Amino acid sequence: MRLVIAMIQDQDVNKLLGVLTEHGYFATKLASTGGFLRQGNTTLLVGIDDDKVAEVTGLIKDTCHSRKQLITPMESVGRTMNNYMPNPVEVSVGGATIFVVDVLDFVKV
């Protein structure tokens, strides 16, 4: 048995949960926060048989796409200019980060 841990952007979570459910997979949804942009995202936990890993990761890849977003970078530490307004920069957000780990034991109570 395997555990798929997928961190996805909040914008993609409802669509992905619908796709997973349509294909007979169930997920546990955890709210989480990304480190770089400090924006909300969602971590999904999906327990599956070994032979279903490729299908589930494929569904995630097909559903969660990266997109471009403009952000305003934070001021540098120690900057003394009070009126400093940094220019927005374009970054890629979204997509998915997927981990697949072996499960030693599974008990449903």
Segment 70-82, tens digit of pLDDT: 666 665 545 555 5
Query: Once rounded to an integer, what is the mean pLDDT over residues 103-108?
Result: 89
Confidence of residue 11 (pLDDT cuts 50, 70, 90): confident
Domain edges within the chain = 2-74+86-102
Task: Name the token pair of 30.
Answer: 């955890």
Segment 36-53, tens digit of pLDDT: 556 678 999 999 999 999
Give exposure, 91-102, as e/b (b: 16+ Cβ within 10 Å): eebbbbebebee
Residues ≥6 apart with Cβ < 8 Å to 35? none
The CATH class for the domain spanning 2-74+86-102 reads alpha beta
